[in-house]
């Protein structure tokens, strides 16, 4: 490839057009991230993604939820 490009000027990609926007989303749900997206036991699931303006998700992630576990049974804790 170096031979092909040796007599050519360096070029850069154009900046993002106005209709393209970037936002952080949860990679599992594809929705807007929440604080729990950062605390996934496998590691943060927050990524930066590009969207056409007007198509950015408006709903927050509902995949990551926090629940209390009864450590004696390893099941969801319930109120008595």
Give the Cα separation of 65 and 50 in Å (integer): 25
Low-confidence ranges of the chain (pLDDT < 70): 13, 16, 80
CA distance 68 to 70: 7
Does the residue 25 lie in any domain? yes
Domain that holds residue 33: 19-64
User: Could you tell me if residue 33 is inside a domain?
Assistant: yes
pTM to 2 decimal places:
0.68
* Cα R_g (the chain), whole angstroms: 22
Distances (CA, A) of 42 to 4, 28, 32, 49, 60: 44, 12, 18, 20, 20
Task: Please report the pLDDT score of residue 80 as a whole number.
Answer: 67
Q: How many domains does the chain have?
A: 1
């Amino acid at each position: 490839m170096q031979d092909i490009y040796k007599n050519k000027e360096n070029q850069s990609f154009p900046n993002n057009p106005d209709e393209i926007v970037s936002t952080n989303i949860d990679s599992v749900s594809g929705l807007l991230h929440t604080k729990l997206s950062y605390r996934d036991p496998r590691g943060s699931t927050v990524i930066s993604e590009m969207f056409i303006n007007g198509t950015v998700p408006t709903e927050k992630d509902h995949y990551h939820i926090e629940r209390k576990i009864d450590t004696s049974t390893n099941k969801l804790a319930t109120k008595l």
